[in-house]
Amino acid sequence: MDKLLIIKNNKKVSRTAIPHLDFATLRQQLLACAAAGGQIVQFFAYEEQGVCKLLAVMRTDKLYIGGCDAPDIFASLTAESEKFHMFEREIGEQYGLKAEGHPWYKMVRYHANYSGKKDVFANNYNQDIPGNYPYFSVDGETVHEVAVGPVHAGIIEPGHFRFQCCGERVFHLEIQLGYQHRGAEKLLQSVPRKRLPIIAETIAGDTTIGHGLCQAQALEALAGLVVDEGAKIVRTIALELERIANHIGDLGALSIDVAFSPPAAYFGRIRGEYLNLTQILAGSRFGRGLVRAGGVTLVMGEEQKKLLSDKLAELTPEVEHVSELIFASPSVTGRFDNTGMVSRENAEKIGMVGYAGRASGLSYDARVSFPTECYGELPANSNDRTDGDVRSRATVRREEIMHSTRLIQSLLARKEEAKDYTPQDLQLAPLSLVVSINEAWRGEVSHCILTDGKGEILRYKVKDPSFHNWTGLALSLRDEGISDFPLCNKSFNLSYCGFDL
Amino acid sequence: MLQIIKNRMEQGYRTSKYPKEQINLYKRFRGLPQVNPKCDPVVAKRCAEACPQDCIDAANCKIDLGRCVFCGLCETLSNGKFATFSQNFEMGTASRDDLFTTGTLPELADHAKKHFKKLFGRSLQLRQISAGGCNGCEADTNVLNTPFFDLSRFGIQFVASPRHADGIHVTGPITKNMRAATITTFEAVPSPKVVIASGACAISGGPFYGSDEIVGDLNSIIPVDLFIPGCPPHPLTTLHALLKYFK
């Protein structure tokens, strides 16, 4: 890792300072970092003056960066470390750069590449999805296949799931997404700057604050804007409210997936109460329009603070009681225990993040490792149960709800008030790069922006935690009953559109 | 068992009395905008240029609610002189043109397709299709099934199979990769059927307008009967639109 540059979260770096290695050296450096426990934050291709290049950002307790000119065909890193598997497929799909030796090389989202090179998957994009794409299959007399989606039985995003089963038992689950691909990255690189926050907030609508915050911080770093303490408090509270609302909704949904309906009804409503708290702050239940480069659009006055703290005081005991109802019920825990297991070893191999990673024993929390906003001054959470099953993922989320509540309460006690917001034109530093990382409710969200010599956005890369974790869901189904799929799925509750971009 | 009963007592009865009783949303909520027709053209032009969704017609002082994401920037920029966002969440329309508005929408219940009221007024089953939706629209539609809104008390349900449905409720900008599945699902619904476009994406492409990876407008591939604006529409916006259109 000695040839990589150490950078900081949300700190602008001159692109000339980033080590530009040859491919073989970069490969060796990244594999060494991965072997030493490093995980990938970003690994993507971009094009500059007709030349395709690779850029990688890895994390241990620090962030490392390095790049190279991209060969059209390169020796796959996945062949030596699974951590790179989805990233290499994405690089192939986005820029037509082929990872030779990748063990399961196939499309990620199904779209024509940006560089105009020959398509590495031999797809004809005039045809509808799924194109030229062989599913992994298992042969045998008693083996059968179950195909589900893209349209699912419920109000849920589309995706295709292919199970290889023997009776009820699942050998293998393959998840093919891409149905939600809206071309978000391409838009972020090409539209007028005024549209950027609107797109960021809808990369994954349930992570409006998480993605909005990453973008705002990245732009602030490039434009040299300073955010006042009051705005930081509002942003931190909004991110934690987002976490609580989603965790509560999912705990309710987990409960109904094991046919215990009262908590689902209660938590369904209570989730709405937390969304309404975000509406008090932002004027929108999802926090749309709140976070902007430079601060927040609405200040949190005494009135809003009182509404928030009164409502939190009312809701917290209710949340505790309903949680207790779920976790004290033997019919629930009987289904949660030892179901949908992802071992720590596997979680590490595929770079699982967020509560799913923590439930498998990977303690990484970006709020602790790379703190932004107010997180540097706030206490970290710890997790009791990290066995990698549905019970662990549910328990981690229960713990996080209470932890986040305490964080919000301590922030509400602070006096600083945000300054009034004035929209401003941003002048981004030329030939620069910034990597932005935040712990959104699902886990590590990261945005990376590269500017060209004129300060225009050359490449805008987005990574949702779901990009890591969908593979975790597939692994959790190994050797599991197929009827436990809804339960396993909800225990992860991953984003389709965040993955599909 | 005792604990279950205790929890049930604590939770009590939580279903809202809407529409019999009005619900007042918090003053920060951005609902139907009111455009000032006498606004200084310079201010209106400034708002139109700054609008991230390019949905302001400065010359006629109108906002396209089908594309607006209710970010509130025009209100902030003009200090309320061009537009203010009211807390009125009742925004559904039966025609795309009605969404180009100064802030007054026609009475939704008076729409021309009266046969839908007769057919589906007492029982309406919808198949939801997310076609590129960011899970904002989906989440705030799903929430209608929670006890507070309790959609099924009105005889309206979201069903799993298009074969059981009376119509489709579509969210998202219809990605290219969901175009075929959207049409197939629509075709699987038996006639007569109703088509609802929910959220800025399904109506106009929303935040993703102009992307070459989307269709961007449900109406261009399947004729839409009911438009529900918002990014995402507030659950009450959806509830109001469904009740007014079908009841």
pLDDT digits (tens, 9 = 90+) for A339-355: 999 999 999 999 999 99
Mean pLDDT of chain B: 94
- pLDDT per residue over B224-247, tens digit each? 999 999 999 999 999 999 999 999
Distances (CA, A) of A471 to A124, A172, A366, B118: 26, 11, 20, 48
Query: Is the CB of B128 inside 8 Å of chain A's CB atoms?
Result: yes
**What mean pLDDT do residues B146-163 have?**
94
Lowest mean pLDDT among A132-136, A366-370, B89-93, B177-181: A132-136
Domain residue spans of chain A: 5-129, 184-500
Which residue shows structure tokens 């940006």? A114
The string of pLDDT tens digits covering residues B19-47 is 999 999 999 999 999 999 888 999 999 99
Bridge-partner residues for B57, per DSSP?
A: B62
- Chain A residue numbers touching B31 (CB-CB < 8 A): none
Tell me the shortest Cα–Cα distance from A182 to chain B, in angstroms. 5
**Shortest Cα distance, chain B CAs vs residue A367, angstroms:** 24
Q: What is the pLDDT of residue A246?
A: 96
pLDDT of residue A149: 84
Residues of A in contact with B176 (CB under 8 A): 111, 181
Give Cα B189 distance to the centre of its chain.
21
Question: Under an 8 A CB cutoff, do A156 and B208 touch?
Answer: no
Q: In B, which residues are within 8 Å of A245 by CB distance?
A: none
Taking the Cβ of residue B125 and every Cβ of chain A, the question of whether any pair is shorter than 8 Å is answered with no
pLDDT in tens, B163-199: 999 999 999 999 999 999 999 999 999 999 999 999 9
pLDDT tens digit sequence for A89-104: 999 999 999 999 999 9
- For position A424, what pLDDT does the model report? 80
Question: What CATH number belongs to B109-246?
Answer: 3.40.50.12280
Q: Is A32 within 8 Å of A1 (Cβ atoms)?
A: yes
Q: Average pLDDT for residues A221-243, to the nearest whole number?
A: 95
pLDDT reported for residue A131: 75
Give the pair of three-digit tokens for residue B30.
């951005």
Minimal CA separation from B94 to chain A, in Å? 23
What pLDDT, on a 0 to 100 scale, did the predictor assign at position B215? 94
Chain B residues close to A327, C-beta within 8 Å: none
B133 to chain A, any CB pair closer than 8 A? The answer is yes
What is the nearest CA distance from A397 to chain B, expressed in angstroms? 19
pLDDT for A289 equals 95
pLDDT at A126: 87
Count the Cβ atoms, other than its own, within 10 Å of residue A136: 12
In Å, how far is B2's CA from the nearest CA of chain A? 10
Q: Are A131 and A121 in contact (CB under 8 A)?
A: yes
Please name the residue of chain A whose CA is at the shortest distance from the CA of residue B149.
A269
**Sorting pLDDT into bands at 50, 70 and 90, what band is A470?**
very high
Kindly report the nearest CA distance between residue A254 and chain B, in angstroms: 15
Per CATH, the homologous superfamily of domain A184-500 is Cytochrome-c3 Hydrogenase, chain B (1.10.645.10)
d(CA A173, CA A163): 5
The C-alpha atoms of residue A406 and residue A400 are separated, in whole angstroms, by 10
State how far the alpha carbon of A166 is from the alpha carbons of A121, A145, A169, A480, A481, in Å.
30, 9, 5, 11, 10
Confidence of residue A416 (pLDDT cuts 50, 70, 90): confident
**Residue among A157, A194, A500 whose CB faces B138 most closely:** A157
Our CA angle for A341, A486, B144, nearest 5°, is 135
Tokens of B96: 């795309």
Angle, CA A272 vertex, CA A270 and CA A273 arms, to 5°: 65
Residue whose C-alpha is closest to residue A231's, from A244, A246, A212: A212
Nearest to B52 among A180, A195, A324 (CB): A195
Q: Return the structure tokens found at A269.
A: 């409503």
Residue in B closest to A495 by C-alpha:
B135
User: How many angstroms away from the CA of B173 is the closest CA of chain A?
Assistant: 8
* Band (A137; pLDDT cuts 50, 70, 90): confident
Q: Which of B75, B153, B175 to mutate to test the interface with A (most CBs of A within 10 A)?
A: B175
Chain A residues with CB under 8 Å of B185 CB are: 151
What does the pLDDT look like over A62-88, one tens digit per residue? Answer: 999 999 999 999 999 999 999 999 999
Whether the CB of B56 is below 8 Å from some CB of chain A: the reply is no
Question: Residue for token digits 């809407």?
Answer: B18
Structural element, H or E, at residue A190: helix A184-190
Per-residue confidence (pLDDT) for residue A490, from 0 to 100:
94
Beta-carbon contacts of A6 under 8 Å, excluding residues fewer than 6 positions away, are: A62, A63, A64, A65
Q: Could you tell me the CA-to-CA distances from B68 to A99, A106, B43 in Å, in that order?
A: 42, 37, 18
Contact predicate A46/A450, CB 8 Å: yes
Mean pLDDT of A176-192: 95
CB contact B17 to A (< 8 Å): no
Distance from the B12 Cα atom to the nearest Cα atom in chain A, whole angstroms: 10
Of B26, B130, B145, the CB nearest to A156: B130
List strand residue ranges (DSSP E) for A143-267, in order. 143-148, 160-166, 169-176
Question: Any residues with CB less than 8 A from the CB of A61 and at least 6 apart, and which?
Answer: A369
Q: Which residue of A has its CA nearest to B210?
A: A187
Query: Are A187 and B14 within 8 A, CB to CB?
Result: no
DSSP character string of A321-374: HHHHHHHT-HHHHHHHTT-S---HHHHHHTT--HHHHHHTT----HHHHS--TT
Q: How confident is the model at residue A17 (pLDDT cuts 50, 70, 90)?
A: very high
Closest chain A residue to B67, measured at CA: A198
Nearest to A183 among B50, B76, B212 (CB): B212
Q: How confident is the model at residue A225 (pLDDT cuts 50, 70, 90)?
A: very high
Strands (E), chain B: 33-35, 56-57, 62-64, 83-85, 100-101, 124-130, 156-158, 167-171, 194-198, 226-228
Dist. CA A474–CA A218, nearest whole Å: 32
Q: Which of A143, A172, A170, A146 is nearest to A160 (CA)?
A: A146
CA atoms within 13 A on the CB side of A358: 27
Among the listed residues A356, A324, A327, the one whose alpha carbon sits nearest the alpha carbon of residue A343: A356
Residue A328, by phi and psi: left (phi above 0), alpha (psi -120 to 50) or beta? alpha
Inter-chain residue contact B7 with A321, CB threshold 8 Å: yes
Classify residue A428 by its DSSP letter. Answer: P
- Which residues share a beta bridge with A415? none
pLDDT value for B1? 80
Residue A135's pLDDT band, with cuts at 50, 70 and 90, is confident
Mean pLDDT along residues A280-304: 94
The chain A residue lying nearest B30, using CA atoms, is A283
Quote the percentage of chain A above a pLDDT of 90: 90
> If you average pLDDT over residues B111-118, what whole number do you get?
89
Q: Are A481 and A168 in contact (CB under 8 A)?
A: yes
Q: B177 and A154 in contact by Cβ < 8 A?
A: no
ipTM: 0.95
Across residues A323-341, what is the average pLDDT?
93
Angle A466-476/A485-492 helices, nearest 10 degrees?
160
SS3 content of chain A, % helix, strand, coil (to 5): 45, 20, 40
Q: Which of A108, A151, A276 to mutate to test the interface with B (most CBs of B within 10 A)?
A: A151
Average pLDDT over residues B46-59: 94
**So what's the pLDDT on residue A369?**
95
